[in-house]
Amino acid sequence: MKTTQEKAVNAFGALNRMAQKPMNSFTAYKLFKLKKALQDPVDFQIEQEKKMIAGLGGTVTETGQVVLDAETMRKFNEQRRELNATECEIDREKTEIFLTEIKDLTMAEIEALEDFIEWKEK
For residue range 8-56, list pLDDT tens digits in order: 999 999 999 999 999 999 999 999 999 999 999 999 999 999 999 999 9
Torsion of CA 70, 62, 108, 20, to 10 degrees: 180
**Nearest-angstrom CA–CA distance, 116 and 103:** 19
**Nearest-angstrom CA–CA distance, 48 and 57:** 14
**What is the pTM for the complete model shown?**
0.89
For residue range 81-97, list pLDDT tens digits in order: 999 999 999 999 999 99
